[in-house]
Amino acid sequence: MTVTIRDVALRAGVSKTTVSRVLNGRGELDERTAERVRAVIDELGYVPSARAVAFARGSTRVVAMLLPSLAWPWMGEVLQAAVEVVEDEGYGMLVFTTTQGDESMRRFGAHVSARAFDGLLVVEPEGQLDYIAQLHDQGLPVVLIDDRGHEPRFPSVTTTNRVGALAAAQHLLSLGRRRPLVVTGEPRFGCIGERLAGFADGYRAAGVELDPALRVEGDFTYESGQAAAVRALEAGLEFDSLFAHNDVMAAGAMTVLRHAGLRVPDDVAVVGFDDLPAAAQCDPPLTAVHQPIREMGATAARMLLANFAGDPLPSAPTVLPTSFTVRASTAG
């Protein structure tokens, strides 16, 4: 039969509150009473539930992370970095996705109501910013990872999308490439507008206006990168370079270019965005804007844990800079 806190209290001749205080080291207690309670705990083999201890302490020592999907190419990187920081500090991690839409959010909301975690890291599920902001306003510590250009009214960690795209333009211009095909992500994400603007800024500064016909929309998948390259080639568009808004689309496009008999980088120089570990494994290895994905996940986790220790969360976004990695897809 399971031993309960009531059993301990009865055997020790104290209240359940006194037993709870002994377990959690809270409140002033007569040392002889505390010793008696501890002896009974040992005698009966009482093991308090993690949930009961968490409730008594006012802390679960658990962090939640809400993600749109684990299938996104860079999601594993940001998740792993956050988990490493959280676990190094002795916290656990609950991971939620929104792959089942409203049902996923109902399950997540039930855990919020049960106070199953102390704070939340979130990569914004589409259409949920207002709900996440409401949780923050109600007192739940929240940090958003990758604001996608939406500038939420709660703490966030983001990167320099516009500056990164500018670097891509400047690199291609330095190679004499003046007719880039741009494979965009979905325009509903604010970061896509920033990447388009930064890339155009670079060419405009060199006196080149980008040809609107050389812009093809993708959806961040390998297949959409392939489709974008196929459409451009079938339309007879002339381009000497390609800038894709993520590495995966760049890899898909390079496959099509190679099958069409075009050489990368001799005929078409290719640049991606993210610089995931797989970028170095492409054929040829992919030049890419390096988005500090792991650093973003780790920084957000450290901010949240510091808040648990009493530090206020920053009121302004924390912006980590992009960098640029040159490989054989442009270097020749």
For residue 263, with 0-12 CB atoms within 10 Å meaning exposed, 13-18 middle and 19 or more buried, which class applies? exposed
> What is residue 252's predicted lDDT score, i.e. its pLDDT?
97
Indicate the CATH number of 5-57 among 3.20.20.70, 3.90.1150.10, 1.10.260.40, 3.30.200.20.
1.10.260.40
Rounded to 5 degrees, what angle do the CA atoms 266, 271, 277 make?
115
- In angstroms, the CA 188 to CA 206 distance is 29
Residues 6+ apart with CB under 8 A from 235: 213
**Domain assignments of the chain as residue spans, ordered by start:** 5-57, 62-159+293-320, 161-292+324-331
- In angstroms, the CA 187 to CA 193 distance is 7
| DSSP-based three-state secondary structure for 180 | strand
Q: pLDDT by residue (tens digit) across 92-110?
A: 999 999 888 888 888 888 8
Label the pairing between strands 269-274 and 287-290.
parallel
| DSSP-based three-state secondary structure for 217 | strand
Question: For helices 293-308 and 75-88, what crossing angle results, to 10°?
Answer: 30
Q: Give pTM, 2 decimals.
A: 0.81
Q: Do the two domains 5-57 and 161-292+324-331 of this chain adopt the same fold?
A: no
> What is residue 300's predicted lDDT score, i.e. its pLDDT?
97
Q: pLDDT by residue (tens digit) across 188-234?
A: 888 899 999 999 999 999 999 999 999 999 999 999 999 999 999 99
Return the CATH number of the domain spanning residue range 62-159+293-320: 3.40.50.2300
Of the candidates 177, 202, 161, the residue with the CA atom closest to the CA atom of residue 293: 161
| DSSP-based three-state secondary structure for 296 | helix
Is the pLDDT score of 55 beyond 70? Answer: no
Q: pLDDT by residue (tens digit) across 154-175?
A: 899 999 999 999 999 999 999 9
Give the model's confidence band at 48: pLDDT under 50 very low, under 70 low, under 90 confident, else very high: low
Q: What is the 3-state secondary structure (H, E, C) of 144-210?
A: EECCCCCCCCCCEEEECHHHHHHHHHHHHHHCCCCCEEEEECCCCCHHHHHHHHHHHHHHHHCCCCC
8-state DSSP, 321: P
Query: Domain 161-292+324-331: which topology?
Result: Rossmann fold (3.40.50)
